[in-house]
Structure 1
Amino acid sequence: MNVWDYLESLKSRWRLVALVAIACIVAVAIWTWQSPRTYTASSTLLFDLQQSDPVAGGNGAAKASASVLGTQVDIIRSGVVAQRVAEKLGYDKDPDLIQRYRESGEQRIGLREWIGRRLVAPLEVVTTRTTNVLSLNYKSADPEKAAQLATAFAEAYVQTQLQLRIDPARVYSQWFRSQINEARDRLEQAQRRLSSFQQARGLVGAGRFDIEQAQLSELSQQMTTAQAETAQSRARANTSVGSSSSAQQSAVVQGLDGQIATKSAELSQLRQSLGPNHPLVVAAQAQVAELRARRGQAVGTVVDAVRTDSAAAAAREANLRGLVAAQRERVLRLASAQDEMAVLQRDVDSSRAAYDAVTARLNEVRLQSEIPQTNVSVLDRATAPTLPSSPDVALRLLLGIVGGVFAGILLALFLEWRRPRVRTIDGFERATGVPVLADLSRGSVHVGFAGKEASA
């Protein structure tokens, strides 16, 4: 038999092929009707991978979407999220689930963990390469339950993500509180050391060293002036009594000199006119001698005053010299203490800077632990599906039709192979070895002779 014989046999047995196909379709329909229906509900999550930080400020750096979303898929399917769903929906208080948990023999794990493992099994998380959206598909025989669990997993994940953001911030906040206490203690200790050192060295008050230096400079100037005055006083005191400039400049001495000069002139005239022994001449001589004695006393008084001033100037110079030496020694002590105080001041400044930094960081972390914000939000909440996702009726019917037709064809070909029949001219000639002269079953007559055919 050739191909045309098989094709003719299929044409002859088309009813058998159709019957087998219908039987397969009916069987698939019955199978589909009796198969348990599964409904799939979907909820979507939107991730903002460039969200700015409201506390630290600035825009968040763009992150690798694939790695971030892949991590979030693992978190969604984690036991923490599943246990949160079980707690939220009250499955951990369901008597039926509690009984099944006791009968399972898995008491080594907690009830919520046991329920969470069974809740997460039908969950499918689908990611896309071009968007920052995750789709949470949950399968269940109850469409309402599928929608409820899909939405519950999305909301539980958002809460878990927020908790994962807040919990570390709270831990850091507690740690920073302990650190700020230590930083405050270090700052207070540094300030106490600095204050004690300033009080011990007399450095209390701002600019104490500069004040002491200014005092030293002023005392040095006063001592220089006193040295010059002492030198002048000594020079005046060391001159002879008669040539003393102070005596010559004295008004008393100058007045007596004038009187002596006048009396001396009168005495000279009296001597010339009356003679040296005249009583008037003797009286004039006595007056001149008295004036000269008074002048000597006045000069002595002036010289004594000059010597007294010289001694006072020397004493003042010696006093200033002692004050300058003491002030210079004080300034040197303050200079050496200034270096030590600078070290202590740097300790205070560094302790204050550390305290301010820890305080600022504590405030920032405290705000982060109190702000209920995350970079993920529920985009779409799941709704109860109207059509089941499994079984796929259209696909099963298509497979039933194709499989039924294919099975009918195989059955028809098998029957033809078991009991072949002559259905074509070539098949008759091969079966009998006799050439066919005419085919009366068709509308035209085929005559064959020596491999040729004619039609009439």
Structure 2
Amino acid sequence: MAELTADGAVLPAGAEKAAARNRLSPGQLVKILRRDWPLLVFCGLLAGAGAYVASKTLITPRYTAQATLAVETRSFMIPELQGVLGSEQMADPMPVVRSEAQILQSRALVRSVVQDLDLTAYPEFNGALRGPTFKEQVGGFLRDHLPASVADPMVDSGVLPPANPGKPSPDVVLDGAVGTVQHDIGIANDGRSLIINVEFTSEQPDLSASVANHLVQRFLDAKQQMRTSANKEANQALEKRITEVHDEIDQLERRILDTRQKYNLVQVRAGSVGQQQVEDLSAALTRASADRAQLEANYQRAAVLAHTGAPGTDGSDALNSGIVGTLRDREATAERRVAELRTTLGPGHPSVMAAEAELASARGAVMTEAKRVMAGLGAQAQAAKARETDLRNQLAQSQTVASTQSSVQAELQQLEKDADARRALYQTLIQRAEQTQAMKEGPEQNGARVVSLAVPPTNPSSPRPKLAAGLGLLSGVAFGGLISVGLRRRERNYATAAEVEADTGLPVVGVLPRAKRGRTSLASRVVKEPTGVEAEALRSLRVRLRFGSNGAVPRSVLFVAAGEDTSGADIAAAFARVAALDGLRVLLIEGDLQSPSVAGKLGVTPANGLIKTLTGLEHWSENLSRDSAAPMDLLLAGTPQPAASRLLETMQLQSFMAEAREEYNLVVVDGHPMTEAMHSLAFVPIVDATVLVVEAGETGREELHV
């Protein structure tokens, strides 16, 4: 319903509202909710109880069983095969944990579990054993009731189910069961530990635990099989490598033996016979040279003694002769006696002469013995010299032989080193092979172990009635709050003409029926239906305005909307068209300079005639436009004008309004809506009547108290 007030309000239908209209402050919202708390409690309890009952009765309970695995991040490698027989801790084990989690959800592993437990026999996992779903029922209903020309293409494209679907093949059933089981499997890891929780949800508690445990067992069996295969391959590789190394050792030993036999190399403490001979000959040559030098020195001493017989020359040690020593003692005794006798008796005494004869005899004996010894020493010196020469020749020959065998000896040493290295590798491979044979093949060697198996749960994991009740309670309270706010917001707006009159004190001079949303503008409808209800309501408005003006016919009327919308422009345009259709000479002025909308309501081309008039550029009569649907003139504003107040306060406005009232039977002005910018007040003193437009149920009370 729409209402009109004289010098006051009109409540139009279908007008556009501003975005900020009827906005509630937080304080107002709290006040509304506190006042309507019983409604909120009722809605919350009702929704909570409904959710609790629905979760207990309408939803099939499902149970979740959980098994726990611990991941071992040790790796199996063999160093001698460019791989390790042992364990090596990874720097970051989390990639291994994530990989194991993905393997647990792999389609191949799940398929084996489905086949082992024959899960396709359960309707929970086999859609063919269940009845049609709600979607299939709706699709079947549409297929049966739609025309064949429409339903058949939809069936062919898969939008609607076929009328008689064939029995699915075993592979299709198996794939569907695998997909369902995969969806119900949950793998969880906290991202910090090596623990993996394997969960499975089913409608049967025993089945949920069985599937979870079988999935874990299948996973461990696969890893065990992989580890066994790896051990077998490793042992085979070790055995092959052991055989190869053994053959290499045999080949090296044969080459060493052949080399020794070919070059007559015998291993002694110095390394070889040639090297030992060189060392022995060098030592013998050194000794022979020393002996030869000693003999030559003794020979020279003996020669001096034999030729000179010099007194005081003691060559007994050098001559190595005891006789010479005795004779030298005899000579020394004779010399002392001669000296004593010469001192006591004098030189010519017969005793002195006898002593001197004895001294000469002793010296002759010494010289004779020295010559004999010298001859012996000369022979020994010649023999020593000959031996030294022979040893020197032998040493030169041995050195030549050793030099020719040096390359062969180096090759032999390298072969012996290679043989020693291969023997060490052979022993290591033998030990590794024994270790791999002795290693356990339990789960602890598979990279994962079971921490705990799943047990059938006693309580369902879903639905959760208490949680559903809590969520329902919150949803109900929120819904009740929306209802409360909606009702209270409606109370803040004018709903009837009586409320407008009681609140503002302005008389309601007209009521327009509410139009359906999406219809054309009121100005267009009154032209199409000049005798319709809306056109008659506008005629009644014109009559009531006459009564409100003490019986005088108002020559100028201002329409102002309450709030930021264009409802006032639509009613002003419709009011002017109805008057023009009734035979009055009408001028419609687009007085809203900030948001002109009359041209759009009338469907005419915008113009700026009013702006030219207010600025004094041209006379207002030269800027008139003609309405295309009704016989009336238009004075349009064109584009929005920021300085609206300055233009409306000029004398040109009052002058042309006075002239227009004399020229036309009725001048209708569309003013700017009532906001903080009261631009329409410039028209109020120069018009006969002002109509305030109020939209029933939409215009707020505060908008009329600006």
Alignment TM class, shorter chain as reference: 0.5 to 0.7
Are the aligned partners of 1:49 and 1:63 in contact in 2 as well (CA < 8 Å)?
A: no
The DSSP-based 3-state class of the residue aligned with 2:255 is: helix
- Equivalent residue for 1:338? 409
Aligned partner of 2:464 in structure 1 is 392
1:132-166 Cα deviation digits (max 9, x unpaired): 32221211111111111222223333444444444
CA gap of 1:169–1:114, structure 2 versus 1, over 3 A, is: farther
Aligned-residue CA RMSD in angstroms? 5.8
Correspondence for 1:156: 218
The letter for the 2-side match of 1:373 is E
* Candidates 68, 73, 76, aligned match of 2:104: 76
The answer as to whether partners of 1:209 and 1:331 remain within 8 angstroms in 2 is no
Give secondary structure in 1 for the equivalent of 2:444: coil
Task: Please list the CA deviations of residues 155-209 of structure 1 after superposition, one character each: whole Å capped at 9, or x if unmatched.
Answer: 3334444444443343233223222222222221111111111112222555585
In the TM superposition, 1:126-205 aligns within 5 A as 126-205=188-267
Q: After TM superposition, give the deviation of residue 218 of structure 1 in Å.
A: 5.5
Distance 1:65 1:20, change over 3 A: closer
- Deviation digits for residues 318-364 of structure 1 (CA, Å, limit 9, x no counterpart): 99999777756554444443123123223323433443444444445
1:94-133 aligned within 5 A: 104-105=168-169, 107=171, 118-133=180-195
- The Cα of 1:84 is off from its aligned counterpart by 5.2
Q: Distance in 2 between matches of 1:66 and 1:219?
A: 73
Q: CA deviation at 1:42?
A: 1.4
- Name the CA distance, whole Å, in 1 between partners of 2:68 and 2:448: 10
Q: In the aligned structure 1, how far is the partner of 2:30 from the partner of 2:402?
A: 129
> Which of 35, 45, 53 is the equivalent residue of 1:29?
53
> Of 56, 69, 72, which residue of structure 2 is paired with 1:45?
69
Mapping of residues 378-389 of structure 1, within 5 Å: 378-389=450-461
User: C-alpha distance in 1, partners of 2:120/2:486?
Assistant: 62
Could you tell me how far apart the structure 1 residues matched to 2:393 and 2:243 are?
A: 51
| Matched residue SS, 1:389 | coil
SS at the partner of 1:44? strand
Equivalent pairs: percent with the same residue? 21
Structure with more helix by fraction = 1
Does the aligned pair in 2 maintain the 1:209–1:335 contact within 8 Å?
no
Secondary structure at the counterpart of residue 390 of structure 1: coil
**Closer, same or farther: CA 68–331 of 1 in aligned 2, 3 Å:** closer
Aligned counterparts of 1:23 and 1:205: Cα–Cα separation in 2:
104
Q: 1:42 is paired with a residue of what secondary structure?
A: strand
Change (3 A) 1:48 1:340: closer
Shift in Å at residue 44 of structure 1? Answer: 1.9
Asked if 1 retains the 8 angstrom alpha-carbon contact of 2:63 and 2:462, the reply is yes
The answer on whether the counterparts of 1:17 and 1:412 sit within 8 Å (CA) in structure 2 is no
Alpha-carbon distance, 1:21 to partner: 6.0
Rate the CA distance shift 1:28–1:328 in 2: closer, same or farther, 3 A: closer
User: Contact 1:122 / 1:140 at 8 angstroms: preserved in 2?
Assistant: yes
1:348 pairs with 2:419: yes
Higher relative contact order (CA 8 A, sep 6+): 1
CA distance in 2, matches of 1:4, 1:183: 90
Contact 1:209–1:334 (Cα < 8 Å) also in 2: no
Cα distance in 2 for partners of 1:210, 1:103 equals 92
Q: Structure 1 residues 342, 32: closer, same or farther in 2, change over 3 A?
A: same
- Range with bigger deviation, 361-370 or 374-383: 361-370
Distance 1:9 1:342, change over 3 A: closer
SS at match of 1:121: helix
Return the alpha-carbon distance in structure 1 between the equivalents of residues 423 and 76 of structure 2. 31
Supply the distance in 2 between the matched residues of 1:385 and 1:183 (Cα, whole angstroms): 59
Change (3 A) 1:94 1:7: closer
Tell me by how many angstroms 1:392 deviates.
2.1
Structure 2 residue identity aligned to 1:173 = N
Residue 256 of structure 1 corresponds to none
* Shift in CA distance, 50/168, structure 1 to aligned 2, threshold 3 Å: closer
Structure 1 Cα separation of the partners of residues 216 and 404 of structure 2: 74
CA contact (8 A) 1:9 1:412 kept: no
Q: SS of the residue aligned with 1:373?
A: helix
Tell me which amino acid in the other structure corresponds to 1:91.
Answer: D
Task: Quote the Cα distance in structure 2 between the aligned partners of 1:69 and 1:201.
Answer: 64
SS of the residue 1:200 aligns to = helix
- Cα offset, 1:125, TM superposition: 0.9
**How far does residue 71 in structure 1 lie from its aligned partner after superposition?**
2.4
**CA deviation digits over 1:388-447, x for unaligned, max 9?**
222221232334444456656767888999999xxxxxxx98785699xxxxxxxxxxxx
Give the TM-score, by structure 1 length.
Answer: 0.55
Give the drift of 1:381.
2.0
Structure 1 residues 76 and 63, CA, compared in 2 at 3 Å: closer, same or farther?
farther
Amino acid at match of 1:143: P
- TM-score by length of structure 2 reads 0.38
Name the CA shift for 1:434/1:129 in 2 (closer, same or farther; >3 Å). same
SS of the residue corresponding to residue 135 of structure 1 reads strand
